[in-house]
């Protein structure tokens, strides 16, 4: 469902990704691990459509369509969702209004009617329960005054409401204490399905104890240097990342 071929990406003329090739099939959970500055978040942002990066070579096919040709909103409407590493605070826009606007624009793209107010409310309630979120958060402005953990939980809550086909989690575990991490991971696990693909980006293996991936890839200096199954994550936890830089593979 997602094919990344020889992707090269620069920011301010500085190369960050130097030839990524990666295939994700429907229903699979892939994890990308790697040291700081290896380009993990860049990959997530490029997939979501961030315009400040320049794709200098390569292509990304999503369900047979050229993802790089699509505006960020169209990617979202086609079922791509990125949970932000640093969710943005939007003053003056309530979570409820924002989510409904988002859901309706996705539905409109699919040729469906706007969501019924009561249906929306019950959908929101269910998903909030899944993430054990405080009811009050839904009427507050998007992420405004949320704690770090509440923001991350809010990202997964949005994921749950919008039901994307490709979910990219960009360091969703960072800044979470162990209890919050478990809740978020349980939320994600509940959303795993044969129709939904996950790309889980993390610096630490600890998240992968709870969201067990099918595949693990290691990114270093803008390249995938190692791929394997979940056991690779344990190996990395033990050895750290420094050995990769000494003996580059791939």
Q: Which residues of the chain form contacts with another protein (CB under 8 A)?
A: 48-52, 71-73, 75-77, 81-82, 84, 87-88, 90-93, 98-99, 101-103, 105-106, 109, 141, 158, 162
Q: How far apart are CA 97 and CA 141, in angstroms?
A: 9
Quote the least distance from Cβ 177 to another protein, whole Å: 24
Structure tokens given for 38: 């290896």
Quote the least distance from Cβ 10 to another protein, whole Å: 18
Quote the least distance from Cβ 88 to another protein, whole Å: 4
Nearer to another protein, 53 or 241 (CB): 53
Quote the least distance from Cβ 151 to another protein, whole Å: 11
**Region for residue 130 given its phi and psi (left: phi exceeds 0; alpha: psi -120 to 50; beta: otherwise):** alpha
Asked if 40 and 17 count as a contact pair (C-beta separation under 8 A), the reply is no
Nearer to another protein, 196 or 223 (CB): 196
Nearer to another protein, 64 or 92 (CB): 92
Quote the least distance from Cβ 105 to another protein, whole Å: 4
Q: How far apart are CA 40 and CA 50, in angstroms?
A: 14
Distances (CA, A) of 152 to 16, 193, 239: 26, 21, 28
Quote the least distance from Cβ 46 to another protein, whole Å: 12
Structure tokens given for 29: 């959970």
| 200-211 as b/e: b if 16+ CB within 10 A | bbbbebebbebb
Nearer to another protein, 20 or 106 (CB): 106
Nearer to another protein, 31 or 158 (CB): 158
Nearer to another protein, 112 or 245 (CB): 112
Q: How far apart are CA 192 and CA 85, in angstroms?
A: 20
Per residue, the 3-state secondary structure of 155-206, as one string, reads HHHHHHHHCCCEEEEECCCCCCCHHHHHHHHHHHHHHCECCEEEEEEECCCH
């Amino acid at each position: 469902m997602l094919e990344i071929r020889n992707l090269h990406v620069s920011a301010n003329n500085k190369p960050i990704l130097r030839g990524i090739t990666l295939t994700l099939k429907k229903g699979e959970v892939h994890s990308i691990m790697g040291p700081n500055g290896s380009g993990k978040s860049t990959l997530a942002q490029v997939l979501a459509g961030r315009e400040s990066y320049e794709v200098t070579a390569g292509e990304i096919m999503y369900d047979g369509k050229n993802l790089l040709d699509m505006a960020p909103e169209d990617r979202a409407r086609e079922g791509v969702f990125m949970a932000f590493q640093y969710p943005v605070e939007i003053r003056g826009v309530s979570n409820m209004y924002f989510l409904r606007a988002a859901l309706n624009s996705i539905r409109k793209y699919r040729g469906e009617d706007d969501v019924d107010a009561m249906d929306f409310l019950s959908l929101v309630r269910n998903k909030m329960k899944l993430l054990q979120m405080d009811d009050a958060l839904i009427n507050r402005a998007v992420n405004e005054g949320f704690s770090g953990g509440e923001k991350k939980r809010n990202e997964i809550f949005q994921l749950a409401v919008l039901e994307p086909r490709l979910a990219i989690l960009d360091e969703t575990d960072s800044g979470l204490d162990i209890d919050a991490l478990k809740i978020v991971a349980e939320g994600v696990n509940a959303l795993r399905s044969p129709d939904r693909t996950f790309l889980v980006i993390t610096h630490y293996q600890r998240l992968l104890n709870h969201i067990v991936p099918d595949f693990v890839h290691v990114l270093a200096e803008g390249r995938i240097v190692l791929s394997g199954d979940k056991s690779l994550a344990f190996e990395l936890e033990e050895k750290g990342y420094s050995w990769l830089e000494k003996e580059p593979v791939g």
